[in-house]
Structure formats: C-alpha cells, structure tokens
Structure 1
Amino acid sequence: MFSPLRNSIFIAVTTLFAAISGSANAQSKFDANLLKNGKYTLACFMTNEGREQAIGTFTFNVNTTGDKLSLTVVTAIAGLEAWKDTAVTDLNTFKPIYLASHNTMKDMVVNFGPNITGYHIDKKTGQKKVIKEAGVPSFVDSYTYPFLVSTLPLTSGYKTDLSVFEYKPTNTDNMKKIVVDEVRNNTYVSKFTGKHDVWEVSAVEPATGDKMVYLIDKKTRRLWQLEEWANGQHVRMVDMETDFNSIKAPFDKVATLKMVKGGDAIIAGQVFARDFNDNGTIWAKMQVMNIQAKQVAPKGTQVILIPYNDYFKEWIKVNESQRKKGREGIALSDEAAECIKSTTVYDDGGHFEFVNLMPGEYLLYTEFSYVHSYSQNEVVGYTDHYINGMFQGTSANTVSRNYNTGAGATVKKVVTVSKPGEKVDVKLKKTRA
C-alpha cells in the first residue's frame, strides 16, 4: 500500500518541479512582473474513486529581490522526513543559476552555466554520480516551473510545447517534451475569498500520457490548484491560502495579555437557558407549559472570555461575514489565541468565574445542551351536549402529556469592567422562544 502511494507522491513532486526549456522565443514570453513575493502552501491529496486522502503539504517561499528569483521549498509528506530544496534563477533571462535538493532519497546539487555540473547521491545505495553535460539554450530550473507557467501569455486556445529537463541517474536523455494543449476559462471557489476567474491550463507528456491541469488566477496569476494523473494515480494539490488575513486592526500581545492577567477585577455569574416554547401566540401559551423553565448549564461547561479590543472586534465581525457568505472562518494567530481565557462551570448551579482582569470590555461566550421538558394539552376527542333532545354544542376532550426533547443554547454577552478591583456579576441567559 505504501509503495504505490510513495511513487505517486514522487511523480507529483516531479511534475510540480519539472524543469522547462524551450526556444528563446517561447522563453521571452515569460513576464517576470507577474511573479509576486510571498509564502504559499499547497495541501496534497491522493484521490481514489472520488475519495480523497491528505498526504502532505508543499510550502513555497518566493523572493524576486533584485534581478534574481529565489525559491525555497519544504515538502512535508506524512511518514517521511521533510524535503528541503532551493533554486535561484536569473529574472532577466529566466536562466537557472543554482539548484539544491535534499530529501530522504537523495542529495543533489546542480550549477547552471555553459555546462550543467553538479552531483547526485542516492542515499539508499550511497552511490554518487557526477553531473556534467552541455547546457541547453534558454532553459530554466525545475522548481520554477509552476510559477513560470502562470507568467505565460495565457488566453483561450493558447498552446505551446515545452522541453523539460529532469535529471535521473538512470536517464539516457534528461530532456522530455511537455505539451500545453489547452487553455480555457473556468472558475475556482476559495473557502476564504469566494469565486475567482481562472485559466484552466491542461498539459500532457506524450511519451507517458501523464496529464496535468492547472487553475491559475486571471488577475493575480496565483496557482490555486494543480491536478495530475500519472501511472494510474490521481493527485490534487490545493492552495491553503495561509497568507490570507483580512484583519486590519493592529494586535498588541503585551497589552492584551495584561488585560486578562494583570488586574484584580472579577467577572462572575451564572449560565442558564430560560426555556419558553410558545410559538409566539397567546393560544400556544395556554396549551404549553414548561415543567422546568430555567435550565442551568451543567457542571464542566466551558465559558470563554475574549478581551474585546479593536483587533478581536474586527476578527469577530469578519468571521460573522464569512459565515453568512458560506465561507471558512479566519483562524486566530497563535499570539492572539494565547490572550483568550477559558474557564468551566464549577457547580450544579451553572456558576463560573474569571479573575485577575483589568478594566475594559470583554466578550463572554458559551454553549451547552439541556433537556427541554414541557407539558402539553392535546385534544383526544369531542363530546356533543344535548338538553331535552336539543343540541347545545360540542366540547373538546383533552389530556395533558409530558415531553422531553433535546435543546441547545448559545450565549454571548459583552461585559464591561469599569474600575480596578471591581466584581461584575452577570447572567449569561439564553431565552428560547
């Protein structure tokens, strides 16, 4: 089971980092202005009969400082040590300068110039091979391939051929051909930022039949997704958008931690649900009676305290907006998460307490389940009434029945501590109507 999976991973990595070379005319179409500095992580999935299994991540750090493109890559595959790779390319000519690849299977260093020189060490056998061959005009190093595809003059119907340099110790020829055979319009839906117009770029390796499909953002040329079908395996890589952050307010960890740890004020209270099931009508109130209207949160229920400063206010607002749009929420940074306090209900009366607080605003949040118990009158029949044979009317025959159903309560409340040493008593109450 592991061997086919490992082979598929290596195929995906090879495709993602395949070296391209072509005519000087084709290479002149690459637009360096479309490359952007940043750190990007792709999640890698193995797909089998419609089911996906996460197998690792690829993290790229792109730097276009000066006249060079520097690309570092960390490949983290489940069950294997991280692979670390570095590539440097001349941005003016797109010619490679240096490549180093280190992983559990090999150590490889390549220097590019009039000749290609370097070495390859197979870590399994310990065999070292010297790399020395004539350089090919206008080729670029392997690790820049997916980024340079995005800088081509993509448009509907665009086609081109690419010569790919892939070094393997067993190769008799390190060149192979890749054909970009179709470019068309498509859309990609991000979990965080919604729908994006993209170019769907299809490429194939005629010698093997391996196929790759890229989804590249039309405006930013960001690589959103890459899929590959090779050796009967299907691998999909998706941008995790780890650089996405729509929170503009600054965050001061020292000041925020002081709010929740550096004072002597207390917020204490009780969590409960006030449970009325009246459907909004007077008649329903006459028919339904709660057996236990006040339901306290059980012992052990978690209560969260968030320092309600500008940063957290914006974070909450943005996440509410994301949820309304059906998108993923924005995760807090580790530093911000450290400033959130948590406690639990400590008795059977639903009571909780936060201590050592500074004056300021705080958002309290909790959720819990309880049993909604109620008694309801139900009509089971009717009785007709007669006097001296004359019909006088009909009355309903009713019985009272008790019911228990599961219910849940979510409560949040903003609480203000006005002065040092103050004790603020609060009721975290949820009314279910």
Structure 2
Amino acid sequence: MKLKKYILAGVFSVSATTIVSAQYKEPEKKDKVEIFRPEAVFDSLQARKMLAKGSAVIKGIAYTKQKHPLGYSVPFSPRILANKMKVVLLPVTSYFEEWYRLRKDKENIRKKRFVYLSDQAYRYRLEAITNSDGEFTFPDMLPGRYFLQGMLNYTLKGKYNQYTGSGYNGYGGRTDYYQQKDYAVDHEDRIEEFVEVKENGEVVKVKLH
C-alpha cells in the first residue's frame, strides 16, 4: 500500500509541471511589461510646421557626471563629455506634452512600465552628432519649444583590493592578504532637456545633462 501511494504522488507531481500547448499563455508576473500610450492624436501638420526652416540656432554641450555604483551622482565629480553622441530634437506638440506627463506619472523601468511614443511622432525629429567636446548645433530653427535627448554611454575604470587569503603566525596573530585588481563598469545615462526659441535670429545656448 505504501508503494502505491508513492507511485501516485510521483504521477501527480509530473503532471503538474507538464508543459501543454494552448492559444493563450499567462506570463509570469516578473516577465510582464506594461505599455502606456497617450490618448491624444498626433498632429503631423503641427510637427511639420514647427520643424520648418527659421533663422535661430540652438547650440549646446552634452555631458553627464560620474555615478556611484548604487546609481546616485558623486559630488564634485568631473564632467563626462558626450563624445560622438546622437542628440535628438523633437517639437513639443500637444501630443508630446501628454506623452511626457504620462511618462513622468507611469514610467518605471524597474517595474517594466514604459510609455510608448508613436512611430509617427518620432519620425518628425532632427538629429545632431556631438564632437569630442560634447558640443552640438541645431541651425535654422523657428521660434518654438523643443525637447532634446541623448543616450550617453561611458565606462568607468578603477582599481580595488581583492582579498586573497590570510596567514597566521605562531603567536596567534593573523595577516590578511590582498591583491590589486582592475575593474570596468559600463553605464548608460539618458540625458534630456527642454529648450525654447523665442524669436528668429537668436542663438539659444543649452546644457544637456
């Protein structure tokens, strides 16, 4: 009798974990991704007019500051200049304003919550590439409000002492031994800023960080 009970338990255990096919499969909670979208309709005519040629210039410098391994900024750390980074300029339309408010309220990368910017809205943009000093320029701009964004990738390198073991003498004393090691940590900072051009012919300077 004990043997029969054991066999039955084994059968139930296997059947509970058997993978079966179906039309729909419920994802694990840790794998779920939430996508939010603006309710406003994107106005391509408004965006096109805002990106027409004017006579103003947006000049800027893009940089970030060194981050602690836990993610927060390090006080008085030197600038890390954005070398050969793409800077994207988007016109601040009514659709974009709703997208940005929604992103501030809903987006949480750790919880896999993202706010979707439509492909059509992203199509109406200008792009610039920084030089080795992080400088960039958008010429021929009309008066209006714009949003600048870039993804700055960099690697922090340094040294640390790695514990390799301990030694003991005949009197019970202990000596710890360390070996110096190199480390490299990759980072990606999303840097962004709003900028407003008030009139044709002006030069607007901005710090993108």
Shift of 1:425: 1.7
With over 3 angstroms needed to count, the CA separation of the structure-2 counterparts of 1:273 and 1:374, relative to structure 1, is farther
Equivalent residue for 1:94?
Answer: none
2:86 to 302, 310, 313: 302
Q: Find the aligned partners of 2:134 and 2:183 in 1 and give their Cα distance.
A: 24
After superposition, residues 165-244 of structure 1 pair within 5 angstroms as: 192=35
- Report SS of the residue matched to 1:305: strand
Name the counterpart of 1:420. Answer: 200
With the length of structure 1 as denominator, give the TM-score of the two structures: 0.32
Richer in helix (by share): 2
- The aligned residue for residue 7 of structure 2 is none
CA contact (8 A) 2:60 2:205 kept: yes
C-alpha spacing 1:427/1:375, structure 2 compared with 1 (3 Å): farther
Deviations 1:237-280 (A, max 9, x none): xxxxxxxx6423x5443332222223111112122222153979
Selected match of 2:95 from 305, 311, 320: 311
Q: Work out the number of aligned pairs and report it.
A: 168
Give the secondary structure class of the aligned counterpart of 1:427: strand
Q: 1:337 and 2:129 equivalent?
A: no
Any idea what SS the aligned residue of 1:419 has? coil
Structure 1: state its 5+ residue gaps. Answer: 1-47, 53-188, 194-244, 381-397
* Residue-by-residue CA offset, 1:174-204 (whole Å, 9 max, x unaligned): xxxxxxxxxxxxxxx99557xxxxxxxxxxx
1:366 lines up with 2:146 in the alignment = no
The 1-side partners of 2:154 and 2:39 are apart by: 36
Contact 2:88 2:128 in 1 (8 A): yes
1:406 corresponds, among 172, 186, 192, to: 186
Larger Rg: 1
CA-to-aligned-CA distance 1:30-69 (integer Å, 9 cap, x gap): xxxxxxxxxxxxxxxxxx97699xxxxxxxxxxxxxxxxx
State the distance in 2 between where 1:425 and 1:400 align.
Answer: 44
Give me the identity figure in percent. Answer: 23
Q: State the Cα distance separating 1:376 from its structure 2 match.
A: 6.2
Contact 2:38 2:95 in 1 (8 A): no
**Contact 2:99 / 2:115 at 8 angstroms: preserved in 1?**
no
Structure 2 CA distance for aligned equivalents of residues 246 and 331 of structure 1: 8
CA distance in 2, matches of 1:322, 1:342: 27
| Deviation of 1:364 (Å) | 0.6
> RMSD between aligned alpha carbons?
4.1
Q: What is the one-letter code of the residue matched to 1:304?
A: V
Identify if the C-alpha distance between structure 1 residues 316 and 422 changes in structure 2 by more than 3 Å, giving closer, same or farther: same
Q: Distance in 1 between matches of 2:195 and 2:38?
A: 26
TM superposition score normalised by structure 2: 0.61
Structure 2: give runs of 5+ residues left out of the alignment.
1-18, 24-31, 165-177
Matches within 5 A, 1:320-331: 320-324=104-108, 326-327=112-113, 329-331=115-117
Q: Distance in 1 between matches of 2:55 and 2:142?
A: 7
Q: Report if the CA contact (8 A) 2:146-2:194 is conserved.
A: yes
Residues 378 and 357 of structure 1: is their aligned pair in 2 closer, same or farther, counting only changes over 3 Å? same
